[in-house]
Structure 1
Amino acid sequence: MKVIDLTHTISEDMPVYPGTDLPKLEVANTYEESGFKETLLTIFSHTGTHMDAPSHIFEYRTTLDAFPVEQFIGKGLVIDCSDLGEGQRITMKQIEAVKEKANQAEFLLFYTGWDKHWGTDSYFGDYPAITEEVADYLILTKKKGVGLDVIGIDPISDGNLTIHHKLFAETEIVVIENLTRLGEIGNELFTFYAMPLKYENADGAPIRAVAVLNE
């Protein structure tokens, strides 16, 4: 068994979506004064490697805390899209190449390699994003979730969040953004864990994403 952590570390200087405040990690209690260390975290719900719920877009749709925990565990498949350049889109061509495995998977994770830009201005550039036909496939096959190693499932230029709206209007899917190390998983099915912080009425939450490979 091999375990791969697919999660970026939360820090005060990490990339965040434009318009979002940076996290704050303030030492609230110290060893010297209190005999223990405690940290006050101030963080937006869609920071770092995180998960979007349907309620992120639609007021009366499902929140993360309302999902059964089984929603966050399942068979994953990484689809290699690392040959795509800036401004190119992920289409059904990439899925058709691995269609049999893609149909079996409960989570599709698209590896673009864009995480190499993490911590730079380039991370907010014109990264590869999925097309509406890919969103249609995710809906048709009733996937539990979809994930990417970029800052958003929609292009950074799409202020209407078209793909978010399409997915969340029609299915109980979760969207995972800012994954990393997807290129280390390979092209076989594996067990995927994406466990969100459980808080009331969660529209989104940071997650610890992990791939467990049976070798």
Structure 2
Amino acid sequence: MRELSHRITSGMQVYPGDPGVEIGVALELARDGVDVAQLHLGSHTGTHLDAPSHTVSGGRTTGGIGLDELVGEALVVHLEGLAPRQRYGVAELATALGGEVPEQLPPIVVVDTGWASRFGTDAALEHPAIDPDAATELLRRGMRLLAVDTLSPDPTGGDGFPVHDVVLGGDALIVENLTGLEGLPERVRIGFFPLPIDADGAPVRAVAFTD
């Protein structure tokens, strides 16, 4: 198995405007007989799941998402040489896949832009983003979960959330801030395991089953 999640730490990078992350001490072994940490973080901290309700009024919350939607065969697309804030579409995805995007996709599509290496820096805010028309086409071909290694599939600080509107508006799911994607095969089984909370999103432990 391979870990695909960023470790959650105090002060880690979050999407601009989201709550900061703080892990403190609530109880101490020497004083209280047990060690207990106190966590302060937003539902979209680190590697996390976006439920439809994140941007869609009346959309499903995490409590309405089954684990069967979060584990399955994935198509992994390794894009190379993307420029900061570049929009990539079906043409770029097809080139990375050797010429074409399969007409019938597995339920999970993972996009590796290489931007995970910039997580925690100002450069992470300048990540590439998928074109909304490409997201629409991926949904048409069977995708039900779009996973990216960037802060968002939309431009951070951009005008609105058109890719979120397409994917979450189609009652599909988004996972953001993956890491460790380099070298993964084009087809691999992946699981995203969120905290069992009923909310607009949740941090996930993302795992590729490579063995």
Q: TM-score range by the shorter chain?
A: over 0.9
The offset of 1:184, in angstroms, is 2.8
Give 1:148's aligned residue: 148
CA distance, structure 1, for counterparts of residue 135 and residue 206 of structure 2: 22
CA distance, structure 2, for counterparts of residue 121 and residue 156 of structure 1: 11
Aligned counterparts, 1:1-215, within 5 A: 3-97=1-95, 98=97, 99=100, 103-125=104-126, 127-169=127-169, 171-187=170-186, 189-200=187-198, 202-214=199-211
TM-score (norm 2): 0.92
Q: For 1:173, give the aligned amino acid.
A: A
Residues 110-129 of structure 1 show CA distances to partners (whole Å, capped at 9, x for unaligned) of: 1111111122111112x111
Q: How many residues align?
A: 208
Q: For 1:172, give the aligned amino acid.
A: D
Residues 60-119 of structure 1 show CA distances to partners (whole Å, capped at 9, x for unaligned) of: 111111112201101012101122121322210233343465734221111111111122
What secondary structure, in the 3-state scheme, does the structure 1 residue paired with 2:208 have?
Answer: strand
CA distance, structure 1, for counterparts of residue 120 and residue 35 of structure 2: 28
The offset of 1:173, in angstroms, is 1.0
The offset of 1:207, in angstroms, is 0.3
What secondary structure, in the 3-state scheme, does the structure 2 residue paired with 1:109 have?
Answer: strand
CA distance, structure 2, for counterparts of residue 65 and residue 102 of structure 1: 31
Residues 131-151 of structure 1 show CA distances to partners (whole Å, capped at 9, x for unaligned) of: 022111122123220111110
- List alignment gaps of at least 5 residues for structure 2: none
What secondary structure, in the 3-state scheme, does the structure 1 residue paired with 2:104 have?
Answer: helix
CA distance, structure 1, for counterparts of residue 204 and residue 131 of structure 2: 25
CA distance, structure 2, for counterparts of residue 103 and residue 46 of structure 1: 30
CA distance, structure 1, for counterparts of residue 68 and residue 52 of structure 2: 16
Q: For 1:49, give the aligned amino acid.
A: T
What secondary structure, in the 3-state scheme, does the structure 2 residue paired with 1:103 have?
Answer: coil
CA distance, structure 1, for counterparts of residue 58 and residue 114 of structure 2: 35
TM-score (norm 1): 0.91
Residues 155-199 of structure 1 show CA distances to partners (whole Å, capped at 9, x for unaligned) of: 013241111112222x22110111101113132x11110011111
CA distance, structure 2, for counterparts of residue 186 and residue 118 of structure 1: 23
